[in-house]
Each structure stands twice: as C-alpha cells, then as structure tokens.
C-alpha cells in the first residue's frame, strides 16, 4: 500500500472509524491468555459504578446540609444529631473521599490492562517491521516511521483508558443525572438537561471534525520536521564536509515554520471550541437555576434543591467538558492506532511457507539456476544468472556498478525473491526453508558496516549472543582488532557511538569481521568489504577476511581485483549477465573485459603512486612501493 512522504497511511487509514479500530484493538485489551487481566477489567468496572453512585450522592448531601442550615436559621432544631448540619457536612466530605478513592482505585486497577495492551501491540508492530521486506524500508523514512510508532503507543493508552475509564463512566453519570432531574424535579428539568448535553456534544463533534484537519496538518508538519532533523543528524559528517550547516538549518526552519503555522491554527481552533462549550453549558445551567428559583417561589422547592441543582450541574460540567476532550482525543487516537494497524496489514512478500523446514547445511554448496530478478519490471537487474560454488570454495563477482553484484547477495539472504529461477543450498531451495535457519547459515561483511550505539563487546557478541567470553575474544583476535580494543579507554566496554562513528573505517570493519567470525556461518558473503579503505588498511583487513573465509563457502563481491586473484572462480557481470568466467589467470589469458579492467586498475595504481600531479605526464619509473604491490599481487596469483 502506498504511503505519503511522512510515512503515514493514506486516506483510507485517515477515515478510520471507532468500531473497526476497537474491534482490532479488542484482543489486546481483552487478552485471551491473561485471565488475571480480564478479572481486573471487571473489578475496574465495579469500582467505576460505585464511584458514579457516590458522585451522584454528593449533591444530595450538599442539599441536606443546606436545608438543615436553613432550618436552624429559622429557629428549628434538627430531628436528630445525624440530621444536623455538621453530620451532613461530614457526610458530604466522606462521599467526596469515597468518590475519589473509587476513581483512583479504578485507574490503578486498569493500568495493568492498558499498559499490557500498549506493550503487546507495540511489540507486534516492531516484530512485523523487522519481518517486512527490504522494499518496504527502502521506500520509507525511518524518522517518520518511528513517529507513527510513538504516536500509536500513546494512542493505545489514550483510547483504552479514555473509553473504558472515562467514556463509560461519563455515559453512566449522564443517565444518573437525567434520572435525578426527571424523578426528583420534573420533566422540564430533564428536558433542559438532555437538550444541554445534546447541544454540547453536537457542537463538540462539529468543531472537532473541523479541528481534525488542522491537527492532521500539524502532525504531518511535525513528522516532516522530525524526519529532516534525524536525517540531517545521521549525516552529520556529510553536512560538515560541504559546510552545509546554514543550508540544513534553513531547511529545518522551513519545516518548523509550517509546524508553527499549523500549531497556531490548532490553538486558535481550540479556543473557539472551549468558548462554544462554555457558552452552551452556561445557558443550560442558568435555565435550570431559573426554573429552580421559580419552584422556590412557588413553595414546592427548597433552598437545598437550588444548591443541589447548581452543585450537580457544576459537578456534571467536568465529565461533560471531558467528553469534548474524549471526542477529540479518541478521534486522533483512532487515526494514530489505525496507522499502526495499517503497518501490521502490510503484506510480507518474503513470507515463509507453512511449516517450512529448517535448512540442513551439510556441505554448504551454493547454486544459482537461471535466476531472473528486477526491482522494477521495467528495469531487469539479473537476466538468467547461473553458477555454482562448491563447498569450501570461493567465488568472486566483478563488474561495473549496477551489473547486479549486490543484488545477488540480497537474493542469497532472501531480502527479495527472484521472479524466475531457483537458489539452492545443498540442493534445498532457499524459498522453501525457514528464514531463520537460512540466515543463520549465512554471514555478511558489507562495505559500510553500521554498528549499534553500544559497546564493542555488545557489537561483537551480536554475531552470537550465547557465545562465551573466550570465543568472543578469539574472534576479535582473528579479526586483528584485539590489540586496538585492549589499548582503547574502556576496552571491550568502550562505546562505539551512533552508527559506530567513534571508530575509524578500518576499526569498524574489523569489529564487523569479528562479529561475523563469532557467528561462524558456513557460507560467507563479502560485499566490497575493503573498497572504501586505504591500501595499507585494506591489506590488514584482507588478511583478516582471508582468515574468515578459510574453510567456508565464500562469495566475494569485489571492486579491487587484487583482492580476488586467489578466488577459485571469478564471474564477470555486465547488465545482469555473466559475460566471462574462470580463474584469474584464465581470464587474463582470455584478454577480454576482465583483463581490460585489470590493466586499468594497474594503471590507476601507477598514477596514484606517481609524484606528478600532471595526468598527462610521462609515466614515472616504477617505485619501490609499486614493485612491492605488484609482487604481492603476483604472489597471490601464484598461490591461487
């Protein structure tokens, strides 16, 4: 399903209604596996009823105390001590305490139910987000998506608590007040009360519908500003490289200006709503009090009735005013929760087959059979790729950018499925085995390794959390990162920073290699793992990678050909097809695309090693460094 740029649901989600959303939310509020929580719901409802009965009795106690005072003022004496003004005042206070106690007890009892619903739904959405295919995440902004999750969590709590703890009690109070007006006074009082409540709710509904559009625009501008802030901060170094602080600030300010404009409109509309509500309620209350004055003058109402009426209406104003808040917040909560449910409804195109068996890795042989793939049907990426990597052997993939090299690695991990053809490991179609077992058998060292903002220990243990301390340290040693870690402040407890930015490129790469070594996968994929490093660091990292690949079936996606001269087979890709294949020596002897690429890279290294800045100068004599590098490359080729 398409979404707008801030990651929110389209109009279908925005027109969501209360009943369908509550139907989807109900299993979380009424959990079938938690009878203790269901008992809490009944207990909370019981406390709610008791609280409202106490609430409706409070004005009566006020009336009785007032009438007793009026009688005493006229010289009469109370019939008994219990009917005296002091006793009735104490009763009034006691009822208010009981009312508050039941209300707070209800909230405390229901808190477990509400927060359990928040946690379960949030976790379900989080798990589903990780289960969704890469295509979903490539099309969405992470910042805006996290805002949807944040608002959704808050909305679940709001809706569950408001509807259960405030909506139902308020409706019950309305009925009780209406009954008092009808039976204690007469039909005129009941009619005015009902008309006041109806007019109040109608105005609130119309005004809230008007405000929802304003709130939606405000939320969208808030998401946009938040997304831009996160995007800019994640690219902190890039901003510095291009001295773009002012440009980023202006970009963020434009988003905040839209948020400011929409926020002002939201506050103005709220003021209009509040004034309209106060006007309607005041007119209704004054009409009731005028009737009561007439009743007192006629002799069939007491001063206590007038006071009780005023107290009951003022007491009613709080839940009635809260109904406006309830309506507004419920409408917004429905939208926010519906966005979360829209995420849960996103289909997973990389779903497992029912009862998918685990992958059984015996030799770790990998085979591609006539694989065709396209991210967009109009632009094919792979066109009939076939190859086999025997157990324990190394296959290298080379070719121009966009030839399909990294796509092959994504297909191996089943981030996408091919439109045609099969991928097999030890004769098992990876599309028919469980994803956990498939990815458990694979290891990846990409070009850009993003580390978690935690300790070095955490990032290495991420490869296999159940590993021992000794195994973790051995992986760091093989990855040649142990000496650096031991010399760093904090050692293995040193923080790596956001995305590992506290470490150099080579250090990040070694931590990533250690993480993969600790996982100990039978099949290893190296996706241009050294192309972003300098020559000296590349040599050190390459030694660690060679150690990691020993004894494993390995796919190497390479930019620098000097790193794959030892591969058992090299595939040269062009426009999604294999145009050459063979060993390093056989491809050089073929004198085709691979040989041309090899010669070009040798020339580039010679130019890079030359002290002259003139690209058109005569080639300089071979330097000692060049001879050493050439000898190294030839030695690798000889070993291969």
Concatenated DSSP letters of 268-311: HHHHHHHHHHHHHHHHHHHHHHHHHHHHHHHTSS-HHHHHHHHH
**Which residues share a beta bridge with 582?**
570
Q: Which two structure tokens, joined as six digits, stand for 78?
A: 């109370």
Domains of the chain: 11-344 (1.20.1560.10), 366-441+521-639 (3.40.50.300), 450-520 (3.40.50.300)
CA dist 232 → 245, 248, 291, 497 (Å): 9, 7, 65, 16
Distance from C-alpha of 545 to C-alpha of 514, rounded to nearest angstrom = 10
Q: Which two structure tokens, joined as six digits, stand for 152?
A: 């959704």
Give the residue from 465, 461, 467 showing the smallest Cα distance to 492: 461
Residue-wise DSSP of 222-254? HHHHHHHHHHHHHTHHHHHHTT-HHHHHHHHHH
Would the pLDDT of 207 be above 80?
yes
Distance from C-alpha of 346 to C-alpha of 1, rounded to nearest angstrom = 7
The reported pLDDT for the residue numbered 372 is: 94
Give the residue from 413, 131, 177, 392 showing the smallest Cα distance to 284: 177
The reported pLDDT for the residue numbered 586 is: 92
Report the residue count for the chain.
640
Give the residue from 169, 170, 197, 165 showing the smallest Cα distance to 181: 197
Classified as helix, coil or strand, 552 is coil
Contacts of 591 (CB under 8 A, 6+ apart): none
Distance from C-alpha of 556 to C-alpha of 564, rounded to nearest angstrom = 8
Rounded mean pLDDT of 295-311? Answer: 84
Cα dihedral 157→163→169→171 (10° resolution): 160
pLDDT tens figures, 320-379: 777 667 776 777 778 777 777 777 777 776 777 778 899 998 888 999 999 999 888 888
Distance from C-alpha of 179 to C-alpha of 53, rounded to nearest angstrom = 12
Confidence of residue 385 (pLDDT cuts 50, 70, 90): very high
The reported pLDDT for the residue numbered 16 is: 56
Distance from C-alpha of 487 to C-alpha of 501, rounded to nearest angstrom = 18
The reported pLDDT for the residue numbered 202 is: 87
The reported pLDDT for the residue numbered 139 is: 59
Average pLDDT, the chain: 80
Give the residue from 493, 428, 410, 491 showing the smallest Cα distance to 455: 493
Would the pLDDT of 4 be above 60?
no
Confidence of residue 542 (pLDDT cuts 50, 70, 90): confident
Tokens 């009763």 found at: 91
Q: Regarding predicted confidence, which is higher, 486 or 21?
A: 486
Rounded mean pLDDT of 631-638? Answer: 44
Confidence of residue 633 (pLDDT cuts 50, 70, 90): very low
Give the residue from 454, 374, 445 showing the smallest Cα distance to 413: 445
Would the pLDDT of 533 be above 80?
no
Maximum pairwise Cα distance, the chain: 125
CA dist 244 → 226, 227, 237, 337 (Å): 18, 17, 10, 37
């Amino acid at each position: 399903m398409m979404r707008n740029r801030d990651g929110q649901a389209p109009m279908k989600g925005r027109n969501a209604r209360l009943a369908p959303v509550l139907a989807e939310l109900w299993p979380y509020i009424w959990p079938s596996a938690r009878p203790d929580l269901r008992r809490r719901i009944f207990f909370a409802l019981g406390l709610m009823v008791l609280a409202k009965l106490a609430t409706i009795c409070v004005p009566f106690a006020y009336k009785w105390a007032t009438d007793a005072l009026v009688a005493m003022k006229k010289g009469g004496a109370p019939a008994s001590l219990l009917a005296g003004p002091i006793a009735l005042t104490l009763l009034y206070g006691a009822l208010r305490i009981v009312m508050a106690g039941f209300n707070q007890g209800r909230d405390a009892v229901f808190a477990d139910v509400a927060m359990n619903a928040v946690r379960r739904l949030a976790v379900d959405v989080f798990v589903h987000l990780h289960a969704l295919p890469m295509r979903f995440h490539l099309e969405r902004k992470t910042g805006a998506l996290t805002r949807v999750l944040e608002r959704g969590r808050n909305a679940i709590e709001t809706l569950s608590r408001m509807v259960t703890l405030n909506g139902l009690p308020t409706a019950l109070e309305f009925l009780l007040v209406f009954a008092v007006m009808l039976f204690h006074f007469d039909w005129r009082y009941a009619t005015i009360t009902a008309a006041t409540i109806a007019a109040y709710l109608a105005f609130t509904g119309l005004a809230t519908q008007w405000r929802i559009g304003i709130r939606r625009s405000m939320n969208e501008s808030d998401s946009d500003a938040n997304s831009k802030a996160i995007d800019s901060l994640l690219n902190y170094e890039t901003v510095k490289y291009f001295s773009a602080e002012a440009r980023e600030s202006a970009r963020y300010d434009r988003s905040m200006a839209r948020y400011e404009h929409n926020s002002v409109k939201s506050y103005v509309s709220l003021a209009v709503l509040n004034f309209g509500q106060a006007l309607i309620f005041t007119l209704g209350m004054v009409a009731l009090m005028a009737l009561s004055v007439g009743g007192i003058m006629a002799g069939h109402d007491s001063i206590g009735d007038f006071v009780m009426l005023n107290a009951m209406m003022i007491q009613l104003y709080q839940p009635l005013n809260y109904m406006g808040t309830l309506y507004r917040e419920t409408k917004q909560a429905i939208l926010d929760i519906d966005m979360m449910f829209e995420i849960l409804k996103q289909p997973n195109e990389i779903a497992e087959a029912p009862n998918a068996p685990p992958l059984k890795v015996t030799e770790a042989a990998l085979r591609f059979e006539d694989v065709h793939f396209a991210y967009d049907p109009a632009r094919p990426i792979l066109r009939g790729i076939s190859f086999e990597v025997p157990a324990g052997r190394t296959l290298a993939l080379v070719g121009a950018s966009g030839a399909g090299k990294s796509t092959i690695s994504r297909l191996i991990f089943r981030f996408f499925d091919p439109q045609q053809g099969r991928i097999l490991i030890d004769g098992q179609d990876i599309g028919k085995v469980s994803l956990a077992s498939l990815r458990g058998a694979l290891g990846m060292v990409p070009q850009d390794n993003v580390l978690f903002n935690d300790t070095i220990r955490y990032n290495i243990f991420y490869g296999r959390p159940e590993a021992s301390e000794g195994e973790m340290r051995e992986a760091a040693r093989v990855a040649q990162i142990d000496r650096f870690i031991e010399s760093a402040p904090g050692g293995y407890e040193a923080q790596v920073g956001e995305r590992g930015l506290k470490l150099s490129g080579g250090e990040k790469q070694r931590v990533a290699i250690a993480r993969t070594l600790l996982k100990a996968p039978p099949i290893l994929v190296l996706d241009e793992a050294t192309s972003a490093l300098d020559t000296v660091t590349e040599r050190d990292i390459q030694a660690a990678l060679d150690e990691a690949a020993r004894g494993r079936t390995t796919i190497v996606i390479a930019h620098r050909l000097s790193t794959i001269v030892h591969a058992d087979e090299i595939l040269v890709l062009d426009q999604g097809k294999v145009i050459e294949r063979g060993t390093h020596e056989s491809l050089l002897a073929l004198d085709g695309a691979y040989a041309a690429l090899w010669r070009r890279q040798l020339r580039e290294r010679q130019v890079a090693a030359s002290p002259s800045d003139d690209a058109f100068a005569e080639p300089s004599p071979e330097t000692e460094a060049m001879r050493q590098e050439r000898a190294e490359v030839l030695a690798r080729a000889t070993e291969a």
